[in-house]
Amino acid sequence: MIDRLFSKIYLALRKRQRLTILFVAFIFIFSFFRLFAVPFNNNVELMLPDDAEFTRSLKFLRESNFSDKVVLSLSLKDADHSVSDLLKVADQFKKNLKPPLVEKIESGILEKEILDDINQFLVYVPQIVAKGDLSAIESRVTPEHVNEKLKQGYKNMLSMNSMFLKSFIENDPLGVKIQYFQKMKELGESIGYKAKFKDGHFISLDDRHIMLILTTPILITDSAGARKLINYIHAQIDMLPEYINVDIISGHLHTLSNEDIIKKDIAKTVFAASLMLLVLLVIVFRSARALLVFIIPAVAILISMNLTSMMIGALSSFIVGLAAVIAGITVDYGIHIYLAMHAGGLRKVNKISRPVMVGVFTTMGVFASFFFSSIYGYQQFALLTNLSIVISIFFYLFILPGLFYKKNENIPLIKINFRKENPIFHDSVIVFLWLIVLGCFMFFSQHSTFSNDVRVYDGSSEEIFKAEDRFHQTWGGGDEFAMMVAQADTLQDVLKLNEELNTRLKRSFENAKVANIAEVYPSKKTREKNLLRWNSLWKNKLEGKTKKLLKEQGMKFGYSKNAFKPFFDELYNSSVADDETKEPKLLDKVKNRFLQKTKNGFYAISYFSDKEALIDKAQKISKKMAGTFIISRKNMTKSISESVYQEVKKLSWIAGSLIVILTILLLKNIRLTLLALIPVVTSVFMILGGFSLLGYALNAPSMVAILVVVGLCIDYGVFMVYDCKFKLEAGTLLAVTLSAMTTIVGGSVLLLATHPVLFYVGVTMAIGIFSGYLVAAFVIPACYRLWISPRG
């Protein structure tokens, strides 16, 4: 039926050949120019599972200010220069970094202001003393405790740093406020960075490094902006003296490095593919017009991109890149048709059209399985790929033969034939060897593992990772932290929610550390309540008693009459500020890390160690508290990998089932179907076993590549089965060999790729296609002869 249909359509189009060509040319030109209007979406989220929790985590990371930072670690290269030289250079360097690319530079705390800042904070403390803490303070106003504190103060005044400590004794003789400063200090140190301060700079403990934290408006995902920013920073670094080295720590570098590496890898692949095309044109096809076979998939993808964008809007650039490669598979059908033309003109094309269509439907079936994915990008991929295949096959079957019809050159082609008389190619030997190898690889495939690490997608250069290692060695902060986020529309709402979250986390985590700003910055309402309680307690109960005790006990150590006047002067001076700018400056140092303002509201962030036990506890809290969620790199990695793995597993089942069903339906013969599936089954086990033998773990890119291999191998199987059954004599073996060769070369080139994703795709393609081709070329004919047609 397919043969008749092909003839009918072909003849109809041939009658209107000029019109058809004009129409195709018009579509092509229209698609080419419309391409500039096709909207693209670079958002990686399109490629991730549609999971509410996961989407929220990504949204948080995108909106928060974690990703707009560039950290610079300036260090001394030699021992001849000192930290003073480094400080001078850093100061000048800071002046050179200017907007618009660098909006703000955080370099450290000015020591000369720290005492004023601490004193300002001590005045604020009554607002954060909770009810329970106030009772503890009350219980400490005893002669014994006051005596102890004043003795400690006296001893401090004998010590070398008495000049710094005097202010604390005057302003907080009972030590009731200083513990809150300690909490501030702990919050500042909670991320685990090791730094000291000198002249307003973060200095490493070895006095050899200075850290600068730059805030930039450039998003990590904006590759053009990131390039501008990094080039700008490099230009400033180039002006530094030779004895200074600068390590840049930034997500922008990863974006650029990945982009550069992928570009280089693609250039390598394109070069190899072009070389292959040249070899095919010169050695096999010996005709410039054969170039059309390779141009058609490109035209098809161009048209299908336009059609897809008309149907669903913006296209993912990842998907377009991937689909363009996959659509290249259709070149295999072109090769079959071209060789059939040469073998016997339209008659042979007519004959080959049937297996071509079976191949097309099964391959489309593989890619159609992506329609069942919950990942939007995969659905787009299914549509784009299938459209490309349909358009390509239309051109190959109905336009290409017409172009060759008038000038059938009848150029002799290379012929290949694996003779069965050769003992090496004896059918039983072939099948036996195949079964042994397949058995071995089936055994090894049981040991194959799946990697959960999404870092496999990061192919940044080694130098970037080395700089990050150096940074963590110097500054610490390499520990992994999870974040629990409270989210609300207003600052006060988020602070209130954060208070409750902090209480629950502290209770649930027991001894495990959790850093939360609530203890030093609760909501305004809570601060007002605290302040009322503080004032009431001191006015009604403690002020008089404390004055008396300080006087009595102070006399023993010779304290003057007005020694603690500053404490009593400031006792009721605290007031809840309406304006954030009137709040203690010390709070600003931690607010930036614990509170985030976004266009959609406010986030309050708690930090804790990214351990499974703590994540479980936090998840229980999160389930009970609306407006809270957890960001854990480990958890995210696990859930992405798990979702992607489940997704690919589901798609594999669907694709597998579709292939079998479609092959049975199209071949209408169980035995032939089983033969056609031999390359598919073999290649899958060879890949699984091969990965296991090579010590590689399977990952999402390699799993997707397996589906592509399956799509190609079923074609090889179908063509070889048809060739065996119908004696096509349309150059099928040569076509399968050429198709496999082009794909193997393309895949093998990826083995040279630096980017891990491309590398794993390369390994999968090389193993899968090579094994699939070998069994298609040798095992299917052998099995056919042994099983279906023993007498030939």
Partner 1 sequence: MKKDRIIFLIVFLFLAAFRVASGYCQKTDVDLIKNLKLIESKMSNINTLTTKFVQIKDLSLFKQKLEIKGSLYLKKPSSFAWHIDVPLKQRIILEKNIVKQWDEDTNQVQKINLDKNPSFSIMTDQMKRWVSGSYLSLVDEYEIEIVQSSPIRLKFTPLENSMAFKMIKSIVILFQEDETYIESIVISETNGDSTKFQFLETSLNVALDPQAWKIKPSD
Q: Which one of residues 163, 283, 424, 613 is an interface residue with partner 1 (CB under 8 A)?
A: 163
CB 145 to partner 1: min, Å = 16
Closest to partner 1 by CB, 200 or 345: 200
Q: Residues 154, 557: contact at Cβ < 8 Å? A: yes
Q: Which one of residues 16, 59, 77, 151 is an interface residue with partner 1 (CB under 8 A)?
A: 151
CB 123 to partner 1: min, Å = 17
CB 521 to partner 1: min, Å = 23
Q: Which H, E and C letters describe 215-252, residue by residue?
A: ECCCCCCCHHHHHHHHHHHHHHHHCCCCCEEEEEECHH
Q: Which residues 202-261 are close enough to bind partner 1 by CB under 8 A? A: 205
Q: Which one of residues 5, 59, 65, 116 is an interface residue with partner 1 (CB under 8 A)?
A: 116
Closest to partner 1 by CB, 95 or 599: 95
475 sits near partner 1 (criterion: CB under 8 A)? no
Neighbours of 64 (CB within 10 A): 17
CB 152 to partner 1: min, Å = 9
Single-letter amino acid code for the residue at 336: H
The first and second tokens of residue 242, run together, are 């030779």
Closest to partner 1 by CB, 77 or 151: 151
The first and second tokens of residue 676, run together, are 């056609």
- For residue 625, CA distances in Å to 52, 472, 500, 671 come to 16, 35, 9, 60
Closest to partner 1 by CB, 47 or 118: 118
CB 172 to partner 1: min, Å = 13
Q: Which one of residues 24, 27, 123, 165 is an interface residue with partner 1 (CB under 8 A)?
A: 165
19 sits near partner 1 (criterion: CB under 8 A)? no
Per this entry, what is the length of the chain? 792
Instruction: With contacts defined by CB under 8 A, name the span among 46-54, 162-170, 530-538, 720-728 that binds partner 1.
Output: 162-170
CA 421 to chain centre: 54
CA dist 51 and 54 (Å) reads 5
> What phi and psi values does residue 213 have, to the nearest 5 degrees?
-115, 115
Site string for partner 1, 75-94 (x = CB under 8 A): ---------x----------
Q: Which one of residues 98, 104, 196, 548 is an interface residue with partner 1 (CB under 8 A)?
A: 196
Closest CA to 747 of 261, 262, 332, 272: 272
CB 547 to partner 1: min, Å = 16
Q: Which one of residues 157, 298, 437, 625 is an interface residue with partner 1 (CB under 8 A)?
A: 157
187 sits near partner 1 (criterion: CB under 8 A)? no
Residue 199: how many CA atoms within 13 Å on its side-chain side?
11
Site size toward partner 1 (CB under 8 A) is 32
Q: Which one of residues 111, 409, 469, 580 is an interface residue with partner 1 (CB under 8 A)?
A: 111
CA dist 609 and 588 (Å) reads 24
DSSP helix/strand/coil, 122: helix
The residues, any chain, with a CB within 8 Å of residue 574's CB and separated by 6 or more, are 123, 124, 125, 126, 127, 531, 534
Closest to partner 1 by CB, 345 or 566: 566
CB 476 to partner 1: min, Å = 12
Q: Which residues 535-574 are close enough to bind partner 1 by CB under 8 A? A: 557-563
> What phi and psi values does residue 736 have, to the nearest 5 degrees?
-65, -45
**Beta-strand runs (E) in 39-127:** 40-41, 69-76, 104-106
Q: Which one of residues 1, 158, 239, 288 is an interface residue with partner 1 (CB under 8 A)?
A: 158
Q: Which one of residues 1, 37, 52, 160 is an interface residue with partner 1 (CB under 8 A)?
A: 160
Instruction: With contacts defined by CB under 8 A, name the span among 111-119, 135-143, 324-332, 432-440 that binds partner 1.
Output: 111-119
CB 189 to partner 1: min, Å = 9
CA dist 470 and 330 (Å) reads 48
Q: How would you label 377-398 residue by residue, b for 16+ Cβ within 10 Å and e otherwise?
A: bbbbbbbbbbbbbbbbbbbbbb
Please report, in angstroms and rounded to a whole number, the separation of the first and last CA atoms in the chain: 27
Contacts with partner 1 by CB under 8 A lie at 84, 111-112, 114-116, 151, 155, 157-166, 169-170, 194, 196-197, 199, 205, 557-563
